[in-house]
Amino acid sequence: MFATLLTLLSALYKAMAGKTPERSFIMVKPDGVQRGLVGEIVKRFEQRGYTLRAMKMMHASKPHLEEHYKDLSSKGFFKDLVAYMNSGPVVAMVWEGKDAVKTGRKMLGETNPLASAPGTIRGDFCIEVGRNICHGSDSVESANREISLWFKPEEIIAWDPCIKDWIQE
């Protein structure tokens, strides 16, 4: 309860100061977990200067995944996508920082890994659209929806890394 209150007060203070950083939802899919790439993906976001606010490994239920991917429910691949995402554990994360959504998507690369530039996560580690190892929010609105779907407010930790002033103006 006390931690939740501190989190809310911190968020309120930042909002009032006009300094609420953007948050993005990033998920390592079952193929990324199975291939041992979680640490590499976390490393890239940390090295870029983003702050990890929440992270958990879980085996998401089919209803949870159907809700997450509901915007794709009319697509022919929807059932296969949900079945695949339900085939093993995923690692869900909340990353925070300047332009976290847009830059996070650039860091991940194109949905089709073969169209992804070398140096991006997908460009470096995958070749198939159906095994593209990660998901990233495509807008601030979808990030907010996805974060609230995967994390309770008290699971998102408010903290400032000691190197913050060396990364942000």
pLDDT tens per residue across span 64-104: 999 999 999 999 999 999 999 999 999 999 999 999 999 99
H/E stretch holding 133 reads none
Going by the annotation, the residues of the binding site for ATP are 29, 77, 105, 111, 122, 132
Is pTM beyond 0.75? Reply is yes
Residue 10 has pLDDT above 70, yes or no: no
Residue 16 has pLDDT above 50, yes or no: no
Instruction: Give me the mean pLDDT over the 51-70 stretch.
Output: 98
Q: Which residues of 23-47 are buried (b: 16+ CB within 10 A; e: fewer)?
A: bbbbbbbbbbbeeebbeebbebbee
Instruction: Give me the mean pLDDT over the 44-55 stretch.
Output: 97
CA 12 – CA 19 distance, rounded (Å): 10
Token pair of 104 as six digits: 């996070």
Token pair of 101 as six digits: 């959504």
Residue 11 has pLDDT above 60, yes or no: no
What's residue 89's pLDDT? 98
What's residue 19's pLDDT? 62
CATH superfamily to which 20-160 belongs: Nucleoside diphosphate kinase-like domain (3.30.70.141)
Tell me the pLDDT of the chain averaged across its residues: 91
Write out pLDDT tens, residues 104-132. 999 999 999 999 999 999 999 999 999 99
What's residue 17's pLDDT? 44
Token pair of 121 as six digits: 């996560």
What residues are labeled active site?
A: 135
Higher-confidence residue: 49 or 11? 49
What's residue 13's pLDDT? 44
Query: Is residue 154 within 8 Å of residue 148, measured between CB atoms?
Result: no
Name the burial class of residue 147, with classes exposed (0-12), middle (13-18) and buried (19+) by CB atoms within 10 angstroms of its CB. buried
What's residue 1's pLDDT? 56
Share of the chain above pLDDT 70, in %: 88
Domain ranges for the chain: 20-160
Name the burial class of residue 110, with classes exposed (0-12), middle (13-18) and buried (19+) by CB atoms within 10 angstroms of its CB. middle
CA 94 – CA 85 distance, rounded (Å): 19
CA 74 – CA 51 distance, rounded (Å): 35
Going by the annotation, the residues of the binding site are 29, 77, 105, 111, 122, 132
